[in-house]
Structure formats: C-alpha cells, structure tokens
Amino acid sequence: MTDLTYFIKELPSVKAGLGRVLADAAAACVEISRAIDRGALTGAMGNRGERNVQGEEQKKLDVISNDVFIEYMQRSGLVAGLVSEEMEAPLFLTSKLERNTAEPYLVLFDPLDGSSNVDANISVGTIFSILRCPQDISSLDDESFLQPGAQQVCAGYAMYGSSTMLVLTVGEGVQGFTLDRDTGAFVLTHPDMRIPPDTHEFAINLSNYRFWESPMQNYIDDCLQGKEGRRGRDFNMRWIASMVAEVHRILIRGGIFIYPIDSKNRKQGGRLRLLYEANPMGFIVEQAGGMASTGRHRILDIAPEALHQRIPVVMGSNNEVETLTGYYKR
Ligand code: F6P
C-alpha cells in the first residue's frame, strides 16, 4: 500500500524541500494525535484558565498542539516563519534556516481546530497552509504572510476522529491518508477525493439564525421548507462545531458548510480565520471539485490584510454553494 513517504517522493511537482516540510507536518500530527488520545490519562484535558489572541478560552491541548507543531516545523531548516492561531505575532525562524536554501517556506496553522469539543471526545483537527517565502528573507515581516490563498503550494488537515487521517493537496487533487497506529505510517486510503456536486445536507449553527443577513435566512428557510418549498426536496442538517470534521464529511459524501457573517461577528469580519482556516480548507475543497466562497467572493482570491483576519465561509458541493451565492446576488 502507498504510504505518505512514498507518495511525496512520487509527486513530480513536489520539490524535495516541500516534501520534507510536509513529512514534518505529518509527524507533528501523529504526535498531536497521541497527545489527544492520552489526554485524560496525562492530565492534558480541560481549560488552561487563559484566553488566546482571539479572546477564546484556551484548552491545555491547544497549547500542547501548538508547541508540538512549532517543534516539528523547525526540523527541516526550510521553514522561515510560522503563524499560528494561538500566537499573536509570527515566529520567525530565519536564524534556523539551512544556509543558502533555495526554497524556504512559510507555514500558517491552526494547531487544534474545534478544540472546544476535545473534552467531549468529539473529532478535532489540525489545519495547515504552506506558502512560498519571499526570496529576500532579510526583509521577512508580517506582510510576507499576507498572500492570497490561490498562492498556497500545499494545504492539509489532520482529523483526530474515529481514526486519525491526513488529507492534503499540493494543487493536484486531494489525497487522504489513514494513520496505521501499528507502524506509525500514513497509508493512502482515500486517493483522489472528490466532492459530489449536489447535496441535500447543510451544516450551520442554526442558533445564530436571528443574527444573520436576510439572504442567509432566506436560503435556510427554503432548505427547511423541504419538498413543500421552492427547493422541492428535503434537506438534512449536521453541526459538529469542528470545521475539520465538517469539511471531512463533505469530502466523503458532499454537503455545504456555512459560517456566515452576522450581527455578532460583523465587526471582526466573520467567525473563521482566513489564513489558517478558510484558505487551506478552501484550497482542499476546490481541488476536490467543490467551491469555497464568502457568499460574495471566491475565498482564494481575497488579498489578506491581517494575520488573524476573519471572513464568512461557505464551502462544499459545487452546485449548492452556487445556489447559496445566488441568494446574495438577488
Ligand atoms: O475555529 C473555529 C471553530 O471551532 C470551527 O472549527 C467551528 O466550525 C466553529 O468554530 C464552531 O463555532 P460555534 O461554536 O459558534 O458553533
């Protein structure tokens, strides 16, 4: 069976350097998976009693996962800088770069997405996005990370669910690997993942209904009307409150994932973060034949303005995302 190491070597477009960074990201995810598995045994469950840069309650495992990912990203000597959901400022690694490396990278990541779920033993994940580092590393600064999602060279997520999976793209389709705990290898179990273009399943936090804009309310009203309404068919609903798990389900059987702008999050621009949530997941969804939008624009075209910028997110089955964006155009 093909494992990740073999797969990386075989991909002609993956330069050796990117392959090394990717292998380190995968190894970090194996260690994070182990930390989550053993969390209740090692006292790693629960809150830390502090808030992160986003003002969110930090879990102990948020910090552990962040530390693990940072440690692995320093191993290749090819990563020039890191941005994490858990850190206000980037971490520059230029002093650790391999001398004269021709291909340094920047890595942006969410070490433990959906972490509010972790104490309840519900699926969580790690998301990462890899960008080319500007050639002149002496002028590396916050701005160097503000590249549109279309410029990502690789994006991936690990999902810590009923099994641990790594799903990634280097711009040539989407591949899914399952961790074989006996050997520690990620085995290619889901080659060339494709999102079905049509769906009858939506994922949204319905409790925010009264805060949404009217196009969003109208779209959900029509889904809820089912066969009797304009859509002429019944819809099913899912909400795990863990973007990785939600997008993974959509990669497996289709669906639409929505975190819209609303009157509660309008000041911040939305709920989900552009650089290390929406962009990498958007890249994966598009590579699997789906669509990723804010409701009004393609996510991967957005020129980022800030490291922790938030945006509205609508992604998944192509025809359903197009239907929803139609409500915003009307
Ligand atoms: O990172 C944000 C996140 O945890 C996503 O994974 C998830 O989709 C969302 O927040 C859940 O938000 P809420 O708790 O508002 O439903």
Question: Quick one: what percent of the chain has pLDDT higher than 90?
Answer: 88
Residues 6+ apart with CB under 8 A from 56: none
- What is the predicted pLDDT for the residue at 57? 84
Residue 242 in contact with ligand 1 by CB distance below 6 A = yes
Residue 17 dihedral angles phi and psi, to the nearest 5°:
-65, -45
Would you say residue 96 has pLDDT above 90? no
Q: What is the DSSP string of 201-224?
A: EEE--GGGGGGB-HHHHHHHHHHH
Q: 4-190 has which CATH code?
A: 3.30.540.10
Q: 201-329 has which CATH code?
A: 3.40.190.80
Residue 111 in contact with ligand 1 by CB distance below 6 A = no
Would you say residue 232 has pLDDT above 90? yes
Mutate to test the pocket of ligand 1, among 86, 256, 271 (most ligand atoms within 8 A of CB): 271
Report d(CA 295, CA 215) in Å as an integer: 9
- What is the predicted pLDDT for the residue at 270? 97
Average pLDDT over residues 118-146: 93
End-to-end CA distance of the chain: 50
Report d(CA 7, CA 171) in Å as an integer: 14
Would you say residue 52 has pLDDT above 90? no
Residues 6+ apart with CB under 8 A from 215: 295, 327, 328, 330
Question: Could you tell me the residue ranges of all domains in the chain?
Answer: 4-190, 201-329
Residue 113 in contact with ligand 1 by CB distance below 6 A = yes
Distance in Å, CA 227 to ligand 1 centroid? 30
- What is the predicted pLDDT for the residue at 166? 98
- pLDDT (tens digit, 9 = 90+) per residue, 153-211? 999 999 999 999 999 999 999 999 999 999 999 999 999 999 999 999 999 999 999 99
Which of the 8 DSSP states describes residue 262? B
Distance in Å, CA 207 to ligand 1 centroid? 13
Residue 86 in contact with ligand 1 by CB distance below 6 A = no
10, amino acid identity: E
Chain centroid offset of residue 221 CA: 28
Residue 205 in contact with ligand 1 by CB distance below 6 A = yes
Residue pair 47/60 in contact by the 8 Å Cβ criterion: yes
- What is the predicted pLDDT for the residue at 156? 98
Strands 201-203 and 154-160 come out as unpaired
- What is the predicted pLDDT for the residue at 287? 98
Confidence class for position 124, pLDDT limits 50, 70, 90 = very high
Confidence class for position 10, pLDDT limits 50, 70, 90 = confident
Average pLDDT over residues 58-85: 96
Average pLDDT over residues 231-254: 98
Q: Give yes or no on whether 4-190 and 201-329 have one common fold.
A: no
- What is the predicted pLDDT for the residue at 103? 85
Q: Give the residue among 68, 60, 63, 57 at the shortest CA–CA distance from 28.
A: 68
Residue 236 in contact with ligand 1 by CB distance below 6 A = no
- What is the predicted pLDDT for the residue at 134? 85
Which of the 8 DSSP states describes residue 153? S
Which residue has the CA at smallest separation from atom 16 of ligand 1? 241
Query: What is the position in ligand 1's atom list of the atom closest to the CA of 125?
Result: 6
pTM: 0.97
Report d(CA 252, CA 108) in Å as an integer: 25
Question: Quick one: what percent of the chain has pLDDT higher than 70?
Answer: 99
Average pLDDT over residues 116-133: 96
